[in-house]
Amino acid sequence: MKRNKRVKKYSRCAVNSVNAVALLVLMFFAMMVYWAQDAHCNELSQEIGKAEKELKKLESDYEREVSSWDELKTPDNLRQALIRHGIDMVQTNPGQVINMNASGKPMPGQMSVARIRQRQGRVDRVASSQVVPRTYPVAPRAAMPRTVRRSATTRR
Amino acid sequence: MTRLSEIIRFYVVVGILASVSFALAGRLVVLHGDLLSKKLDQPNYGFKRDMQGLRGAIYPSNRGSAPFARSVPVWVYHVDPASVTLKQHTRREVAETVAEALQMPFDDVMKAYSRVDSRYVYLTMSSDTEANKVLSNPKKVSGLRAEEIQIRRYPQGRRLSHVLGFVSKDPTNSVGSAGIEMRYERYLRGIPGKIEGEVDARRVELYDRRLVSTDPRPGCDVYLTIDQNLQYEVETALAKGVAKSRAQAGWAIVLQVKTGAVLAMASLPDYEPETYNRSSSSAKKNLAVCEIYEPGSVMKTITACAALDCGIASPSTTYSSSRNDTRYYRLPTDSHGMDPVMTVGEALVHSCNVVYGKIGVDVGPKRLWSYMDAFGLGRKTGIDLPGEEYGILPRWEKWDKVKWSRAPIGQGVAVTGIQIAAAYAAIANDGELLRPYVVEKVVSKDEGVLYQHVRDVRGHPIKASTARNVREMMLGVAKKGGTARRAAVQGYSVAGKTGTAQMKEGRGYSSVNFNASFVGIVPASRPELVILVTLQKPFNCRSWKLSQETGIPLYNHQGGVCAAPVFRRIAWTALKYLEVQPDQPDDLPEDMDMAEYERKVMELE
């Protein structure tokens, strides 16, 4: 009777301890999870920080690059570049301009067109006429300096 | 006893749990709660950083072209001579590397590295990424600090400097201080971002402890009505004109008639916006908008408008050009040897002061004043540029009798260039006065178009028929016998008016200093552009030569001599560039009528 009482008492005590240990273990795991998450967050934030810096750097580089391209595209620089390559352009003279209508034909009453046609007519007349080309007397071969002939032979 | 131990154990477990929970909760509170904000106030932990949003760019009207102004991040390099790691390299080696990377003279860099009295020696500013990579290598370079800041760049240098303005040089808080930069500051300025958090002992930010993180937002982009190619041509032509006439200053405006858009605006002398502090305040003044001057004969067109509109005169009404009345006494006779009797139209072509003085008197001061007022003289035009002047147009009650005949020829009245250009645009636009403007739209990167200009009609000072009649009258100015033969543009009809206004000197007028102007409407039959050119104090006013056509002396200071050629060059370039269809055959001589011209063309063909 007495023994039974003891057993009963120990068993109740064991249940309480198990509960307490279980709670502690639970808390420990909760803490571990919290710390793990915290560490992960820390790691992520470091990565975000690095990415943030990288993004800022790339954005700045982009702005700098665009700016340097813009400086090359200014009318002054384009003109300088054209001059450098010998293809500088000037405004046309009024006489060089032919105004055309929508169908692509020159509008009537333009002095420039009349002048061009007149010039073209003159060229056509010259091209069509059978003029014997002028012949020029050719110097005799013997008259050429000796040294020149010799050098030509040696080269051959 | 047993009961007691159970209770103790229970309380111990509860106590442990409670303490662990309290510790965790405390940690959370410390990290994310209000306690931290108190902690941030302490200098050792707190970290706050404001980030400047990139200032918006200013673009011309040309699509895909480079902006007139943009903000660029650059590095400011400064030397801390005391922190050079002498174990790795000598000062000389470092200075050589730095000088090569930054393309600076070696002596300057070496001088900075040799200083012992300062730990902050400014070196230079650079946006070269490659140089920055080289200089960031600690094995090669030490004692050099690079701080990234934002600066305002104007890729086109002096181009359009007066319209663009400039921003103050404070790197952390740069504010637009003139021109568009100032007027559109609230749009251009970026919204700053903010970061708040904690730093470690080395003052490096702990990213996981960041509390506030707001990204900066870039400013809006401003799109102008200015065409950069046209602006280039206008500035080039004006600079040549100023140099040739040896004028002290000059300004030119190209205005689109239908909309009131300013396509080009130039003012000389100009300045470099990036180094604005090195220029004088007079060079920074936008003369086209902020300079008031007596317009001279350019005002006769307004007088003609008033006379024709109120029915006092018609283009064929004749007036005597003799000074037969004391009111016209001392009015300079510049009828250029024409008949003593001339029509209103002829008087405009020959710029006859006496006739226009008489017309002004006939119109009456009250009516003349009301027309001038309706054309916007003596009032701000409302152009979206800061510092615009009102001009001076005293009320007609204050005019004395001498002024009755002086105001019609542009004396005793002061205007700005933009006022005259807007008034002529009204004549070109069949009497509709529009508000001139420079900004077409403002675009936000996130929210799209925030502001778009809407055509703003300010009034109808004259009837459409009057405007057409006056334009017809003005056609003769750039033709043979007119005051501005040099303003004729081949292929296009020009309706214009010259102005040679004496400048104020003490209580009277100077006999040597003038403002020479030419304002023209092209093409006159289908007006597209109004171009104003004014040269201030053109030099050598006493030198003259006889006109080959009329035998009348031409003075260098006259609007028809020095301003008209500038107008012609601008008009020819602008009309071709804007693909405006010519309204008269390309090289119709002034003294030849259309039938004769066509016969000549037929003969040639």
Residue type, B480: K
Identify the H or E element spanning B265. strand B262-268
Residue B88 DSSP SS3: coil
d(CA A58, CA A60): 5
B-chain residues near A69 (CB < 8 A): 66
pLDDT for position A156: 36
DSSP B491-539: TB--EEEEEEEEEEETTEEEEEEEEEEEEEEESSSS--EEEEEEEES-S
Tens-place pLDDT, residues B452-496: 999 999 999 999 999 999 999 999 898 888 888 888 888 889 999
Instruction: Centre a 10 Å sphere on the Cβ of residue B204 and count the other Cβ atoms it contains.
Output: 10
Higher pLDDT, A4 or B563: B563
d(CA A54, CA B42): 30
Strand ranges inside B33-136, DSSP E: 46-51, 58-59, 70-79, 121-126
- Asked if B219 contacts B54 with a C-beta cutoff of 8 angstroms, the reply is yes
Architecture of the domain spanning B49-224: Alpha-Beta Complex (3.90)
Please state the domain extents for chain B. Answer: 49-224, 228-270+280-600
Instruction: Say yes or no: do domains B49-224 and B228-270+280-600 share a fold.
Output: no
d(CA B269, CA B469): 37
Q: Which CATH class for the B228-270+280-600 domain?
A: alpha beta
**What's phi and psi for B453, nearest 5 deg?**
-70, 140
Output the 3-class SS for B179-238. HHHHHCHHHHCCECEEEEEEECCCCCEEHHHCCEEECCECCCEEEECCCHHHHHHHHHHH
**Chain A residues 52-111 with CB within 8 Å of chain B:** 60-61, 63-71, 73-76, 91-92, 94-95, 97, 99, 109-111
Q: How far is A42 from chain B (nearest CA, A)?
A: 5
CB-defined contacts A:B, below 8 A? 125
| Six-digit token string for B315 | 């283009």
Residue B152 DSSP SS3: strand
pLDDT for position A42: 82
Peptide bond into B523 cis (omega under 30): yes
Residue keyed to tokens 């001088």: B111
Tens-place pLDDT, residues A42-63: 888 889 888 988 998 898 899 8
User: How confident is the prediction for chain A on average, in pLDDT?
Assistant: 72
Nearest chain B residue to A37 by CA distance is: B208
Within an 8 Å CB–CB cutoff, is residue A26 touching chain B? no
Output the 3-class SS for B8-56. HHHHHHHHHHHHHHHHHHHHHHHHHCHHHHHHHCCCCCEEEEEECCCCC
Q: Which of the residues A6, A18, A29, A76 would you substitute to probe the B interface, choosing the one with the greatest number of B C-beta atoms within 10 Å?
A: A76
Nearest chain B residue to A34 by CA distance is: B24
Output the 3-class SS for chain A. CHHHHHHHHHHHHHHHHHHHHHHHHHHHHHHHHHHHHHHHHHHHHHHHHHHHHHHHHHHHHHHHHHHHHHHHCCHHHHHHHHHHCCCCCCCCCHHHCCCECCCCCECCCCHHHHHHHHHHHHHHHHHHCCCCCCCCCCCCHHHCCHHHHHHHHHHC
List the one residue out of A55, A53, A60, A67 whose CA is nearest residue B132. Answer: A60
- CB pair distance less than 8 Å for A42 and B208: yes
Where chain B has pLDDT below 70, the residues are 1-2, 25, 28-44, 171, 324-339, 540-555, 585-605
Q: How far is B292 from chain A (nearest CA, A)?
A: 31
Residue keyed to tokens 């702005």: A63
| Six-digit token string for B534 | 């004014």
- Asked if B602 contacts B585 with a C-beta cutoff of 8 angstroms, the reply is no
- CB pair distance less than 8 Å for A13 and B228: no
Closest Cβ–Cβ partner in A34, A68, A117 for B605: A117
Closest Cβ–Cβ partner in B70, B206, B601 for A114: B601
Q: Facing residues of B530 across strands?
A: B255, B521
Mean pLDDT of the region A90-101: 73
| Six-digit token string for A16 | 């309480």
Nearest chain B residue to A39 by CA distance is: B208
